[in-house]
Amino acid sequence: MEIAILGGTGDIGEGLALRWGRDTDHAITVGSREAERARETAADYSTRLEERGHAATVDGAANPEATADADVVVAGVPPYHVADTVEAVAESLSGVLVSPAVGMQRDEAGMHYHRPGAGSVAAVAADAAPEDVPVVGAFHPIPAHRLADLDADLGLHVPVVADDDDARETVIGLADAIEGLAGLDGGPLANAPEIEGLTPLLINLAGRNEGLSDLGVRFE
């Protein structure tokens, strides 16, 4: 499978690229608005994997080139860049589109879920994507720093929401393929707000309770 991670130079993109590069034989391409930055970052990821004895090669390209022919495209960009990023690659987008972004606002009490007018960031991505491209919400409550630390054990669940059953199952499989993650069927895309809203809760708990840094979720 060919996976493109747009915004793959960022935190969540780093973790997904490294984990899929280590745990699967999928072809990974890091996307960025700047092709040179994407190539440099991809070379760094490849080197880090090679140093651990993994021969996976991570490529880098500008977002539209990274998207072309990809089976799965992860929009690993901040929520306020999701629509612009998806629209910029719409002509080359034909695979499953995954949205892990969460809208949040901070005040003196902590972090709060900032629900977009569309209902969720996943819905924003769906509105920006071509009609025939299935959109999946996933990887929201995964602590990015912990994901990128290949020495860290995960032991976390990944709720996955989508209207397209096949697309949902594909992304559940991608979550399962990462050691220590397990994908869960979260139902249709309309359930994305409940999933996205977990992230600010986790950040607040991690910030206020000793020993809970890089907090994720596991349902038992």
What is the CATH class of 2-208?
A: alpha beta
Burial (CB < 10 A; 0-12, 13-18, 19+), residue 206, is middle
Q: What is the mean pLDDT of residues 122-128?
A: 98
Residues 174-219: tens digit of each pLDDT: 999 999 999 999 999 999 999 999 999 999 999 999 888 888 999 9
Query: 13 or 55, which is more confident?
Result: 13
Global pTM value: 0.94
Residues 49-82: tens digit of each pLDDT: 999 888 877 999 999 999 998 999 999 999 999 9
Position 211 scores a pLDDT of 85
- Reported as a pLDDT band with limits 50, 70 and 90, residue 91 is very high
**What is the C-alpha separation between 192 and 196, in angstroms, rounded?**
6
Q: Using alpha carbons only, what angle is made at residue 92 by residues 86 and 94, rounded to the nearest 5 degrees?
A: 85
Instruction: Answer whether residue 11 shows pLDDT above 90.
Output: no
Eight-state DSSP code of residue 183? E
Q: Where are the beta strands (DSSP E) in the chain?
A: 2-6, 27-32, 58-62, 72-75, 96-99, 104-107, 110-113, 135-137, 156-162, 181-185
